[in-house]
Amino acid sequence: MALVKLDQQTKTVRVSEFEVTHELIFKLFDRLPESQRDKALTRALQIGATALLEDRIATFLARTENELGTHLEALKLIYEQNVTAKEKTTQIGGEAENRIYSSIRDLLARRGYEGDDIALTGATAGAINRNKTGDIVIKVDGDDTKRIVVEIKFDASISVGGFGDADSTSRTRDTAISQLLEAGANRNAVQSIIVFDKHRSSDALSNQVQGIQWIPSVGFIVVVDYDRDDFTYLHVTLELARSMTISPVRMVDSSVLKILLERLVTDIDTIKESHKLLNINHENLKKISTLIHKHSLLVDFARDTILRFIDKGEISQHELLELYRGDAIRDRYKSIGKEVEELFPSIKS
């Protein structure tokens, strides 16, 4: 008996009692409330019908009919990978708060700001009811009226935002500006900083911010390199925010500060690039020195072998084997690495 029946007059498709056992399909409906499942089934059939009516896809499916189960399994893997990626992002967010907190604490200690209080606050609500925005709070010299808040946002969906780029009532997504304002209000902060990661933010945001961006009356946007443990821009911004918090001057010429920040970022980038080149050259010098040492030993050994051959008029198979494998210099060669390290000690960041 056919499962599918058509009503030609009403253009209706009727399906008799039907069931399917497949993990991916079950997951789709299991994650939906019962009230939404019928609509989801209709949508799934519409998408499938569209695909089947497209000649190229229909041909592909006909050619790979026996492999359809494999393709469904591939879809399942993609689905599970997406879920895992979301879980990993959440996990990285928690780890980032702790690492950045430790980095800031170390910075304050190096700069001699022992009187500053620093606390992780992302798990507790602030001044706004049930709101936890603002992951780290620094009280300059322990003064509760001189707070700096740091919000960490490793989220590629967030843009910088702006006051004049959209209807305020239509904004449904967070932006860097909204998060800065929210963090500042929630933690009663004088200065607010939001931190993004260059590998986990949108290209548009990274291109617009260029390391550090200051938005008057709002706060600082900073992009760090989390994977390389490079928080240079954040450290510089914290120094600026700390000075602005202490300073009695509240009005700052934004155009001048913008120019100075751009100059600062350019110089930091130049230092980073120079240090990278220095490390590359340093490694190359070590390799060159190692090669020189190694082949100097080989030259000495070959010379001694030649002199013995001239003196005796013959060379044994054992001597040829030693020359071929370099056995006679193997122990001496082991110490080359240490000698090279002494000549070219590691470069500190």
Residue that wins the pLDDT comparison between 338 and 83: 338
Mean of the pLDDT values across residues 237-246? 90
Mean of the pLDDT values across residues 43-61? 66
What tens digit of pLDDT does each residue of 280-337 get?
777 777 788 777 877 777 777 777 777 877 777 787 888 778 777 766 666 676 677 6
Q: Which residues of 169-186 are buried (b: 16+ CB within 10 A; e: fewer)?
A: eeeeebbbbbbbbbbbbb
Tokens 């590691």 -> residue: 346
Domain ranges of the chain: 87-252, 275-343
pLDDT at position 56 over 60: no
Contact 109, 101 (CB under 8 A): no
Percent of the chain with pLDDT over 90: 26
Contact 148, 193 (CB under 8 A): yes
For 87-252, CATH gives 3.90.1570
Mean of the pLDDT values across residues 207-224? 89
pLDDT for the residue 110: 92
pLDDT for the residue 318: 80
How many angstroms separate the Cα of 213 from the Cα of each of 165, 205, 236?
Answer: 18, 11, 12
- The model's confidence at residue 106, banded by pLDDT at 50, 70 and 90, is very high
pLDDT at position 153 over 60: yes
Output the CA angle 186-190-196, nearest 5 degrees: 70
Contact 138, 107 (CB under 8 A): no
Beta strands 136-139 and 147-152 are antiparallel
Q: What is the residue-averaged pLDDT of the chain?
A: 78
